[in-house]
């Protein structure tokens, strides 16, 4: 991947339309990045709106601040740009002293600045230290520690569960064998081990052979699925009536969590199916705007290959 196309916001028009921002809106970009989506949203917010942007990467936050502040003052919304993780959404929004929000966007996955920075170890295409922490200042667990200390069973479990890698057990065994000779400290070393573990015939299709294992390690390092569940639950609580929640996911594990979370708030009845009427009185909290996810058009994928696996889901607070 090149930074040129990874800086292009995915499903931009669809997201801005879905946010449906009202007058005097409070909009939260829970994954601010380089403010690709927020820059366009700010034009709708105007000077009467409040834009709260959240990112845990200092470089991205600084770049986003500069971009958003380039909007003329008389057309720029009030900005509240916060360093943090959307898993801590309750704490972050409490610090803004607001009663609720009108729309929130999650653009999940790894940001371009993280992939581009070789020392972060996210990329399987460039050699670097096996780190993969999204917030090195607060996190201690690294991919290097996982690769060199988890036993074969635990390595198999996370690789299989977080990536659907069919060769998970074999990759785990090869990792354990390789680290017995010397610690695996760099991404290039790990790529070589993974390539050796996957038979040559299986490496000819399905993209880079290390892609799925690197995804699994990244998810484990950053507790991404747990953080996502926590962030989505908090977002629904903070939404004002009529407020919109818009989520772009990039792999099936994320999309399944978004789908299930939305469904749990849209279908809250716990009555046995044989009862003719609901007696539990648990009312729906969300209405599903998208029953099936919106996908990028072939034209967008041609312009921006990062969009290839994107899925957009939208719901509205009752």
For residue 113, the model assigns a pLDDT of: 62
Output the pTM of the full model. Answer: 0.91
Is 86 within any annotated ligand binding site?
Answer: yes
Each of the 318 residues of the chain gets a pLDDT tens digit; together they read 333 334 689 999 999 999 999 889 999 999 999 999 999 999 999 999 999 999 998 888 999 999 999 999 999 999 999 999 999 999 999 999 999 999 999 999 776 666 666 667 788 888 999 999 988 888 899 999 999 999 999 999 999 999 999 999 999 999 999 999 999 999 999 999 999 999 998 888 778 999 999 999 999 999 999 999 999 999 999 999 999 999 999 999 999 999 999 999 998 788 888 888 888 878 899 999 999 999 999 999 999 888 999 999 999 999
Looking at residue 80, its pLDDT comes to 98
Can you list the domains of the chain with their CATH numbers?
A: 3-113+224-317 (3.40.50.150), 122-222 (1.10.150.170)
Q: Would the annotation count 107 as a binding residue? A: yes
As given in the structure block, the two tokens for residue 283 are 């009312």
The residues pairing with 103 across neighbouring beta strands, listed in sequence order, are: 27, 244
Structure tokens at 10: 């995915």
Are the beta carbons of 55 and 79 closer than 8 angstroms? no
Question: Closest Cα to residue 145, out of 157, 135, 131?
Answer: 131
Q: Are 140 and 148 in contact (CB under 8 A)?
A: no
Pairing of strands 101-107, 26-29: parallel
pLDDT for the residue 293: 98
> Which residues, 6 or more positions from 108, have their beta carbon under 8 angstroms from its beta carbon?
31, 228, 247, 248, 249, 250, 254
Angle between helix axes 224-238 and 211-222 (nearest 10 degrees) is 60
The answer to whether the annotation marks 316 as part of a ligand binding site is: no
Has 49 been labeled as part of a binding site? no
Alpha carbon distance 280, 302 (integer Å): 49
Q: Is residue 55 part of an annotated ligand binding site? A: yes
* Secondary structure (DSSP) of 101-146: EEEEEEE-S--HHHHH-GGG---SSS--BS---S-TTT----HHHH
- 35 is annotated as contributing to ligand binding: yes
Q: What is the pLDDT, as a whole number, of residue 306? A: 83
């Amino acid at each position: 991947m090149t930074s040129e196309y990874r800086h292009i916001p995915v499903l931009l028009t669809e997201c801005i339309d879905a946010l449906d921002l009202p007058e005097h809106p409070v909009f939260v970009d829970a994954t601010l990045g380089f403010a690709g989506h927020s820059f366009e949203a700010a034009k709708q917010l105007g000077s009467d709106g409040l834009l709260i942007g959240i990112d845990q990467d200092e470089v991205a936050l600084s770049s986003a601040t500069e971009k958003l502040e380039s909007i003329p003052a008389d057309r720029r919304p009030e900005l509240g740009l916060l360093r943090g993780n959307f898993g801590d959404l309750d704490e972050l929004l409490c610090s803004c002293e607001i009663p609720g929000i009108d729309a929130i966007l999650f653009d999940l996955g790894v940001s371009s600045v993280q992939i581009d920075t070789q020392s972060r170890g996210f990329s399987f295409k460039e050699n670097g230290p096996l780190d993969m922490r999204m917030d090195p200042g607060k996190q201690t667990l690294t991919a290097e520690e996982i690769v060199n200390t988890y036993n074969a069973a635990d390595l198999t479990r996370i690789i299989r569960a977080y990536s659907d890698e069919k060769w998970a057990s074999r990759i785990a065994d090869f990792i354990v064998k390789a680290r017995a000779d010397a610690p695996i400290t760099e991404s290039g070393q790990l790529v070589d081990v993974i390539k050796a573990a996957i038979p040559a015939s299986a490496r000819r299709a399905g993209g880079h052979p290390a892609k799925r294992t690197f995804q699994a390690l990244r998810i484990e390092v950053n507790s991404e699925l747990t953080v996502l569940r926590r962030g989505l639950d908090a977002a629904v609580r903070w939404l004002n009536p009529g407020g919109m929640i818009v989520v772009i996911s990039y792999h099936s594990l994320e999309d399944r969590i978004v789908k299930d979370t939305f469904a749990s708030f849209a279908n809250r009845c716990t009555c046995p199916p044989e009862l003719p009427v609901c007696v539990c009185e648990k009312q729906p909290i969300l209405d599903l705007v998208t029953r099936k996810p919106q996908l990028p058009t072939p034209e967008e994928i041609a312009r921006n290959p990062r969009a290839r696996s994107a899925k957009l889901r939208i719901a509205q607070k009752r």
